[in-house]
Amino acid sequence: MLVTRGFKGRPRGDVALRSRLPPGQFLTPEFPVLTAGPTQHTSLDRWSLSLQHGGALLGKWTWQQFEALPQTETVTDIHCVTKWSKFDTRWRGVTIDDLLKAVGLEAAPTGFLMAHCDGGYTTNLALTDLIEGKAMIATHFDDLPLLPSHGGPARLLVPHLYFWKSAKWVRRLALRDEDKPGFWESLGYHIRGDPWQEQRYEGDR
C-alpha cells in the first residue's frame, strides 16, 4: 500500500465521541491518502460507469448522465483498516439503490458485487452492505468535486465497512451470484471488513 500523506491523531476523551469510535481506532482531523498504486486521473469526458450482471450490460452512464441521476447527500463517519477514523465527513453522490432503480432493478437481499476501478483495483461486497441507503457512488466531498487523490471523479462509499471497501476511481460494478475476493481480500484481508467486529484480516471473527 502506498501512503501518499501522513496522518496523526488520538481518541478524544468525550464519552459520546468515543462511543462512535470502533475498537482499535484513533480519531484524526486529517483525511489521510492511502492507495494500492498510483493515483489515477480520468477526465470527465472520458469517464463512464457501467453496471453488469454476468455478461449482460444493465446500464452505462457518461458523466453528464450520471450527474442527472438523483443526488443524495450524507454526513457519516469513516474508518480505515490502518486504524484512523474521521468523524462527520460530508459526501454527495448517487446511492446504489438509485443506480439499481435506474436500470429497473429492485435489489435482492442476497447476492454480491465486485467493484472494478481504474488502475486495476477491485473489491467485493455483499449487496446487503450496499442497499437501503448504506452506500453510494460519491462524486463530492465537503461540497467540492472529489479530488483524484481521494478517488475522484467518483468512488464507492461504504462507510460502515473499513475504508478499503470504498473503492477509489470506480468504473464498473459487476453483480454476482457468488462472492469472490477482490484485491486486498485475496492478499489476506477480511472478506467483509466490519470495523465494529475488527474484521481486518482473514480469520478475524
The amino acid at residue 37 is G
- What would the pLDDT profile of 145-177 be if each residue is shown by its tens digit? 999 999 999 999 999 999 999 999 999 999 999
Confidence (pLDDT) at 107: 59
Closest CA to 140 of 125, 161, 155: 155
What percent of the chain lies above the pLDDT cut of 90?
A: 83
Place of cell 454480491: 112
Rg of the chain in Å (alpha carbons): 16
The amino acid at residue 170 is V
Confidence (pLDDT) at 119: 96
The tally of CA atoms less than 13 A away on the side-chain side of residue 109 is: 0
Confidence (pLDDT) at 128: 95
Closest CA to 117 of 38, 59, 28: 38
Confidence (pLDDT) at 18: 78
The reported pTM is 0.90
Low-confidence ranges of the chain (pLDDT < 50): 1-12
Q: Quote the mean pLDDT of the chain.
A: 91
SS3 128: helix
Place of cell 455483499: 126
* Contacts with 156 (C-beta within 8 Å, 6 or more apart), sequence order: 115, 123, 135, 136, 137, 138, 165, 166, 167, 170
Q: Out of 3.90.420.10, 2.60.40.10, 3.40.50.720, 3.40.50.1820, which CATH number does the structure's domain 47-197 have?
A: 3.90.420.10
